[in-house]
């Protein structure tokens, strides 16, 4: 349970700092892996990441996707909707 909260808090930080990740799970996963891994995962082949993510100490894709879903339900300002994007643009 504690690990889930850790993933959720990391996903929340990414969603707040990188709005493009709100719309695209693959961008979110890549950003998460590059930010919280001890190596630059984006430079590894996808097959290596998929087969060895546990060895790298990373959560699976689905865990990150579910965390995004939970975070966006709790923090509407982190949702990937057109209305939120429009509201954020008008605030600037």
Give the residue from 1, 2, 3, 4 showing the smallest Cα distance to 71: 4
- Express each pLDDT in 22-81 by its tens digit: 999 999 999 999 999 888 888 899 999 999 999 999 999 999 999 999 999 999 999 986
| Residue 83 pLDDT > 50 | no
The model's pTM: 0.80
Instruction: Say if residues 71 and 2 touch (Cβ distance below 8 Å).
Output: no
- Domain positions in the chain: 2-91
Taking residue 87's Cβ as centre, other Cβ atoms within 10 Å add up to 11
Mean pLDDT (whole number) for 1-8: 75
**pLDDT class of 91 with cuts at 50, 70, 90:** low
């Amino acid at each position: 349970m504690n690990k889930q909260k850790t993933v959720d808090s990391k996903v929340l930080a990414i969603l707040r700092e990188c709005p493009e990740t709100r719309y695209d799970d693959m961008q979110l996963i890549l950003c998460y892996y590059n930010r919280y891994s001890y190596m630059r995962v984006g430079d590894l082949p996808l097959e290596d990441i998929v087969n060895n993510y546990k060895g790298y100490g990373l959560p699976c894709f689905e865990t990150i996707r579910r965390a995004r879903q939970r975070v966006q339900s709790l923090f509407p300002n982190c949702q990937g909707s057109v209305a939120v994007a429009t509201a954020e643009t008008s605030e600037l």
